Amino acid sequence: MQLDTISVSRGGVNVSWDNGVQHFFSAFWLRDHCDDPASQDPNTRQRLVDTFAIAPDITVSNAVLDNQSRCIELHWNDDTRNTISVAQLQRAVFSERESSASEHHYWSAARVLESLPEIPYNDVLASEQGTLQWLELIERYGFALLSDTDASEQGTKALGERISPAQRTIFGAYWPLSADLSEHEDSAYTTQTLLPHTDGTYYHNAAGLQMFNCLEFDGTGGESVLVDGFAIANEMKEQCPEHFDTLCSVSVPGQYLEPGVHLYAERPVIRLNSRGELQQVSFNNYDRAPMHRNEDALDAFYQAYAEFNRRSIDQANWLKIPLRTGMALIFDNWRCMHGRMGYSGTRTFYGCYHNRADYESRLRTLRQTSGQQAL
């Protein structure tokens, strides 16, 4: 996105972008967001200007674009001057999604994936470019497979560290997953079928990514199941908007209980960002805690919740992925629900979670170093 023209108007500045979009920036806002060294720390981007000392009646008397520095010199009505970069304006008005190198691809029975997003394990470990390609697959499709993995605990950690240190939970930073384990009383440590759900509904900061590396498989069944929760949410917004609105507004509690532990958090099944875009799906009926509302609100919730569940358990919306030794799966826990088909035999995974903020930070910095635009 490039700046086309600027002009002073109403004491602020009008900006036109090369795609035809226009924005008006008030004088007060501009002074508050100037990023010259006197206004913003050049290393940390922390604000140095005293927002509360800016004159309420401040106005712009002139604005000059320096095409070489890509900065706008602002002349104030008190004869002082500051600058603001074009990049600072872009950061304020354009979402990261609009500047992203890859667009989101939602998938369901109505939009079947022609092939699964996959990348070789060694490509991710070998270079920053390989790691960027991996993370952009996750961003676009909500998940990615890795082939020819090092089927060991150390190999799993080496892969996880390509993103960031793992997110520690009550299960630890890295954890084994097998029906033979009994350290935690959880349905994940069984051989039974698990219906699609998201993890960590009982954490205020539910994991952003979840990864499984298959260390051993000797049996039948046990396919991993993925469902694109964003695809379901979008379809509900179009087909039953009243249910969509209910799931955006009613907070649903989740809890985890074991001796010495009682985790509890609540949020809506569908969470939107400030631009009204999908930000998080949080759905786990296994871990839903008791809740009560008035009769009308409960009726509306149960109807909407049942409709979301109906779509999530519709196997036409499922991807069934038979993870075997030498394969790993990573998915966006804020977007994709996951489950498991029942199985018999031995099935041992080694996995971890990653904090959402760490994942997004890694993606931004990789794009910056690769020359892609990152706001």
Helix (H) or strand (E) run with residue 328 in it: strand 327-332
Last residue of a domain, one of 59, 94, 129: 94
pLDDT (tens digit, 9 = 90+) per residue, 3-41? 889 999 999 999 999 888 999 999 999 999 999 999 999
Helix (H/G/I), strand (E/B), else coil: 251: strand
Average pLDDT rounded to a whole number, residues 142-171:
97
pLDDT at 371 over 90: no
Mean residue pLDDT of the chain comes to 92
pLDDT at 274 over 60: yes
Per-residue pLDDT band for 99 (boundaries 50, 70, 90) equals: very low
> Token digits for 170?
């009550």
In this prediction, residue 93 carries a pLDDT of 87
CB burial string 193-211: b at 16+ within 10 A, e below: ebbbbbbbbbbeebbbbbb
**Do both 29 and 116 map to the same domain?**
no
| CATH code, domain with 372 | 3.60.130.10
Is residue 307 within 8 Å of 186, Cβ to Cβ?
A: no
| Sequential DSSP letters for 122-156 | HHHHH-HHHHHHHHHHHHHHSEEEEES---SHHHH
pLDDT at 97 over 80: no
pLDDT at 100 over 90: no
Q: How far apart are CA 79 and CA 103, in angstroms?
A: 45
pLDDT (tens digit, 9 = 90+) per residue, 202-213? 999 999 999 999
**Do both 120 and 263 map to the same domain?**
yes
* Beta carbons within 10 angstroms of residue 156's beta carbon: 26
**Do both 66 and 140 map to the same domain?**
no
Per-residue pLDDT band for 370 (boundaries 50, 70, 90) equals: confident
Q: How far apart are CA 339 and CA 149, in angstroms?
A: 22
Cα 275 to chain center, whole Å? Answer: 15
**Do both 59 and 114 map to the same domain?**
no
Q: Going by C-beta distance under 8 Å and a sequence separation of 6 or more, which residues neighbour residue 334?
A: 198, 206, 208, 279, 280, 281, 282, 356
**Do both 144 and 62 map to the same domain?**
no
Question: What are the backbone dihedrals phi and psi of residue 200, each rounded to the nearest 5 degrees, phi first?
Answer: 75, 25
**Do both 52 and 184 map to the same domain?**
no
In this prediction, residue 185 carries a pLDDT of 58
Helix (H) or strand (E) run with residue 364 in it: helix 356-370
**Do both 14 and 40 map to the same domain?**
yes
**Do both 90 and 105 map to the same domain?**
no
The domain of 115 spans 101-375
pLDDT at 102 over 70: no
pLDDT (tens digit, 9 = 90+) per residue, 220-248? 988 999 999 999 999 999 999 999 999 99
pLDDT (tens digit, 9 = 90+) per residue, 309-352? 999 999 999 999 999 999 999 999 999 999 999 988 888 999 99
Last residue of a domain, one of 43, 71, 94: 94
**Do both 58 and 105 map to the same domain?**
no
Q: How many domains does the chain have?
A: 2
Percentage of residues in the chain having pLDDT higher than 70: 94
Per-residue pLDDT band for 375 (boundaries 50, 70, 90) equals: very low
Per-residue pLDDT band for 186 (boundaries 50, 70, 90) equals: low
Last residue of a domain, one of 37, 64, 94: 94
pLDDT at 101 over 50: no
In terms of Cα–Cα distance, which of 9, 82, 11 is closest to 50? Answer: 82
Average pLDDT rounded to a whole number, residues 352-362:
97
**Do both 164 and 132 map to the same domain?**
yes
In this prediction, residue 184 carries a pLDDT of 54
Average pLDDT rounded to a whole number, residues 144-172:
97
**Do both 247 and 327 map to the same domain?**
yes
Residue 99 vs residue 197, higher pLDDT: 197
Task: For strands 143-147 and 118-120, give the pairing.
Answer: parallel
In this prediction, residue 188 carries a pLDDT of 63
**Do both 25 and 73 map to the same domain?**
yes
| CATH code, domain with 33 | 3.30.2020.30
